[in-house]
Amino acid sequence: MRIGVVGNRRYRELTGVLGRLGDYATLHGHTLVSEPDLEQHWHSPVERWGTANPTLDLVLSCGGDGTLLRAVRHLQGREVPILGINLGQIGFLTSVVPGDFEGAIDAFGRGEHRIERRFTIQGAIVPSAAIRRPGEHAVNDIVIHKAEAVRIIRVRVSVDGEEVGQFTADGMIVATPTGSTAYSLSAGGPVLLPDVEAMVVTAISPHTLRVRPIVVPGSAHVTLEVGGRGRDGALVSFDGQLVGPIEKGDRVEVRRGDFSVLLVRLGEEGFFSRMQRKLEWGDLSDRELMFRAD
């Protein structure tokens, strides 16, 4: 197999993992294609993942969820299975711990795995008096947020051309089902199962008690338009990566992306079991202790 490798150099375990991976690949006849930033961590030279898109059978993401999202950006829209090796703490999108990755690659080669298809969203920034910027894709979310800590922003939200409302808040999130367990969840949004064909629109710290998140079809076109006074602006980010500033009257148009992300899953663990293990979903153990004390 030809295996692409993306890694986060901030993790101390990375060098050891890549050393084992290099030995494993040599033993089993696999070709490794590494992102350039990892060159100093390999024990022996490997093929460089440059500007051209190499042909790959599998991508290994060595880090946390942010590293996996970066692997998606490296693929530039190609649907190649991604196996996440968790070097961090939560790693909700990852599948295996460092001690298990050799067996996981073997299982993938034998076809003893399943693929979770996660749809992406695409956002185009439409300035009020300028040329439309090309759309970019996100796996988790597209977010408009305030540019200054002491300010709030006003955002007009529309779905399929119908205005939902104008909201005063710290920002607005449009999230995929994958992103429903990320920033949107922290802002009070609902959890969507990965195979739900929908998006979540969640306000960040709205300045009213009457605003609640809404769930819209995956086929919907969501428009976020910056309002406010004067030239008060905001910032736009895709999967936590800052794209740039926008000003009053500018719009961000969000729709379903034209490719999916393929996550490799092993074993029988389901979505809610993963939620319970990694996010402590439904953990009422503290209450159980209280009841026993009574």
Active site residues: 65
What is the Cα–Cα distance from 60 to 6, expressed in whole angstroms? 6
In 3D space, the residue among 66, 217, 222 whose CA is nearest the CA of residue 159 turns out to be 222
What is the Cα–Cα distance from 110 to 96, expressed in whole angstroms? 17
What is the Cα–Cα distance from 241 to 104, expressed in whole angstroms? 30
What is the Cα–Cα distance from 177 to 45, expressed in whole angstroms? 39
- For the chain, give the number of residues: 294
List strand residue ranges (DSSP E) for the chain, in order: 2-7, 31-34, 47-48, 58-63, 82-86, 114-126, 136-138, 141-146, 153-159, 162-169, 171-175, 198-204, 214-217, 222-226, 234-238, 241-246, 251-265
Cα 224 to chain center, whole Å? Answer: 20
β-pair type (2-7, 58-63): parallel
Given a contact cutoff of 8 angstroms between Cβ atoms, the answer to whether 84 and 94 are in contact is yes
Give every CB contact of residue 257 below 8 A, 6+ residues apart in sequence.
119, 120, 121, 122, 137, 138
> CA 103, 107, 109, 114: dihedral to nearest 10 degrees?
-140
